[in-house]
A = this chain, B = another copy of it.
Amino acid sequence: MKRIAVIEGDGIGKEVIPQALKALEALDFRFERVDLEVGYARWERTGTAISDEDIETLRSCDCILFGAITTPDDPDYESVVLKIRKGLDLYANVRPIRPIAAISGAVGHKNFDFVIVRENTEGLYSGIEDIGDDRACTTRVVTRKGSERIAQYACKLATARRKHLTIVHKSNVLKSDKLFLDTCRQIAEEEGITYDDRLVDSMAYSLIATPWKYDVVVTTNMFGDILSDMSGALVGSLGLLPSANIGNSHAFFEPVHGSAPDIAGEGYANPIAAILSAKMMLEWCREFKKASLIEEAINQTLCRNIRTPDIGGNSTTTEFGDAVAEYI
């Protein structure tokens, strides 16, 4: 039995994670549940958003199901998401982008199915900064080791898919990206994966204009952050994208969206991203049947026209979650 930490977090995190848990319960997926209260609300109360002991607790778990956490505009606040990613060395951020049959995206394409594999530990997220009153610098770090392991992850994934890798970089401006590009090319050669590469700016265009061209897309941390949120427009809403942060021994599953303070508390947040994150968790736990039942339940629920306002309906978060659990 897996030991799984559950972090609802702040804002709509508290609304969507219970729906994912309901689905897991309906599937009769048994796990040892470890609830953790970390994040902004706790920071306001105690001055600590997440402690080193919390990281130890998470390390004692197999994986984490996570909602969302609010980041205040306060330089002393330490990001919970980043602390967990670094603390457990979750180096691969995996974001599948696929259409959902019953939902038409803002863009109108339906024939795409790609995965963004985002390096999750370095790049502009190095945390190396030098902040002055009149000049503030951040060091963007690319290492051979970091590039190698993310390229290996991406190639492994491509092997199980359509065997194509697109390496996204900006090496015409950032000489540091040449290390990333060359390392990815080399690993792809070794693994027998066909590959090409694109500059990040032209890729942002191409992913919207011709998304069917891509299979596995590997890139550095911040570029992956931007391209994956952007791809929410292809699928139809930011409330639809799940993600997995994968390390050698742990994993952490979370919707791509944030805590959405603007709609929190109203009960209308879309729980699909959270439920699909639970689906990715089931796959990681090798519970493939249960995972595909989740997807089926979401599709059936959408076909019954139960949907939240962001995708054109007027159902509540709970109504959607209940319908999914019921179908299961």
A interface residues, Cβ below 8 angstroms from B = 71, 73, 75, 79, 82, 106-109, 124-125, 129, 131, 133-145, 170-179, 200-202, 204-205, 208-209, 222-223, 225-230, 232-233, 237-238, 258
Contacts and interface: CB of A to CB of B under 8 A. Distances in A.
Q: From DSSP, what is the main secondary structure of chain A's interface residues? A: mixed
A75 B175 contact: yes
Contacts of A223: 226
A225 B205 CA distance: 11
A140 B141 contact: no
A232 B205 contact: yes
Contacts of A172: 71, 79
Contacts of A204: 204, 226-227, 229-230
A13 B223 CA distance: 28
Total copies of this chain within the assembly: 2
Contacts of A145: 134
Contacts of A73: 171, 178
B258 A233 contact: no
Nearest to A173: B125
Contacts of A109: 106
Given A131-B178, A138-B139, A209-B237, 7 more contacts: A106-B109, A129-B176, A134-B143, A136-B178, A139-B140, A205-B232, A208-B208
10 contacts: A82-B173, A107-B208, A124-B170, A131-B179, A136-B178, A136-B179, A201-B225, A205-B229, A205-B238, A209-B237
Contacts of A140: 124, 137-140
Contacts of A108: 106-108
B131 A209 contact: no
A141 to B, nearest CB: 5
